[in-house]
Amino acid sequence: MANPQLSSRYSTASKDAWPGLVQPTRPSSASWRTLVSMPILVGMLGGLVATLFFYWVAVEGSAVPQHPHKVPIAVVGPPAAVAHLAAGLERGASFKVLAGTSDRRAIGLVEERKADAVLDLYSHQLQTAPAASTLTSIVLEQMFSSPTSTLHVSVVAVAPLTPGDPNGMGLMLFLPLASVLGGLPGGLALALLTRPRKPVSLADAGSRLLRTIVYSGLIALCIASLADWILGYGGGQMLTIWGWATLLVCACAACAEAFVVALGTAGFLLAALPLLFFGIPSAPWPAPWNWQSSVFRVLGPYDAVGATADGMRNGIFFGPASDIKDLLVLAVWVLVPVLLMLGLGVLRQGSKQQATRAALASR
């Protein structure tokens, strides 16, 4: 039988002999609550959602560009020949034939972004528009140059890409990828480095938004300058890139800043998911959305990245095309975080004024 006094003396001697020994303790309930606190839980779930979303986008985008969907082609020629050709091209809803009354009218459809190529049956000429869709040009050239084709045509590019960027992928790297990667971290940094994090008044919110606009313009100017220096998009093309990049960077930075201010760092996911993980793959480059899978084809035009890429392409290569829809989409992406930031400023200002009146009344 153990001696209680001996055991107590031995335990005391051991503690005195090893003063640096840390005795194991059972974790308290408070430490477990700290380990699984709400911010950590939200961050872990947000990371899981972002990973699954990115995986879904990658799988969905793997089908691009295997299945064209109603790609518009203007065809000029005798009505019977046009109808016969349309029956073959529109099989499976791959292409959509637009009958042109003349070659000039058909070229006008391309310039207005209503058609991606022109097939003139009178002159046996295929007039492609690589600036509108490189994939349409490649597929049609291969189709009519194959040995099984009964129609042999000569190929002429009516809307070529810039010589310094023959595939258009360089411009894709500058805009929208550079704009998103410049806008999202910038907005996050502006939100985290500003003290207090939430605006205290309407004037404070306005000054923060003005700072975001200036930041967006400077980042976009750097992007446009690099596009001019490296790829040769100079003159009016550089100004076009600067303008559209400013809108996209402003949308990205404002979304990131406003959501982080309102919801904390977890709010950054609300901007990163649609703009980075979905917006970049849905950008209509090197071909429009009708070459993309169904999800991107339907939702891509309403993403800030997709609208900017489409409007930028029109501004550089297709002057007669309308940019109203793209501008409206971008306006919504900018106005939502702007109104959120201004609303937070108004609420904080009202709370401060109410507290001041209550303090004066209690005296």
140-151 pLDDT tens trace: 998 888 888 888
Q: Is residue 128 part of a domain?
A: yes
- Asked if 194 and 328 sit in the same domain, the reply is yes
Q: Are residues 187 and 326 in the same domain?
A: yes
Mean pLDDT of the 162-189 span: 89
Q: Is residue 15 part of a domain?
A: no
> CA 207, CA 200: separation in Å to the nearest integer?
11
Q: In this structure, are 121 and 225 located in the same domain? A: no
Cα separation, 297 vs 106, in Å, equals: 25
Asked if 190 and 260 count as a contact pair (C-beta separation under 8 A), the reply is: no
- Summarised one tens digit per residue, pLDDT across range 310-339 is 999 999 999 999 999 999 999 999 999 999
In a domain, 296, yes or no: yes
Query: What sections of 62-194 are H helices per DSSP?
Result: 79-89, 103-111, 134-145, 169-172, 178-193
Query: Are 141 and 185 members of one domain?
Result: no
pLDDT at 101: 79
Are 132 and 197 in a shared domain? no
* Same domain, yes or no: 104 and 175: no
> pTM value?
0.83
Dist. CA 279–CA 296, nearest whole Å: 9
Is 38 contained in some domain?
A: no
Question: What confidence score (pLDDT) does residue 128 get?
Answer: 94
Q: How confident is the model at residue 356 (pLDDT cuts 50, 70, 90)?
A: confident
Residue 340 resides in a domain: yes
183/307 same-domain check = yes
pLDDT given for residue 281 in this prediction: 84
Strand intervals (E) in 209-264: none
Judgement on whether residues 138 and 284 belong to the same structural domain of the protein: no
CA distance 363 to 302: 55
Q: Looking at residue 128, which CATH number applies to its domain?
A: 3.40.190
Residues 122 and 184 occupy one common structural domain: no
Q: Are residues 195 and 124 in the same domain?
A: no
Domain of residue 268, residue span: 169-354
Could you say which of 134, 157, 180 is where a domain stops?
157
Instruction: Look at 59-63, 98-102, 198-202, 241-245 and tell me which has the smallest mean pLDDT.
Output: 59-63
Which among 88, 60, 57, 67 is positioned nearest to 290, based on CA atoms? 67
306 lies in a domain?
yes
- Based on the structure, what is the number of domains in the chain? 2
Which residue, of 108, 133, 157, is where some domain finishes?
157
Q: Does 36 fall in a domain? A: no
Last residue of a domain, one of 129, 157, 185: 157
Edge-to-edge strands of the sheet including 125-128?
Answer: 95-99, 71-76, 117-120, 125-128, 154-157
Residue 360 lies in a domain: no
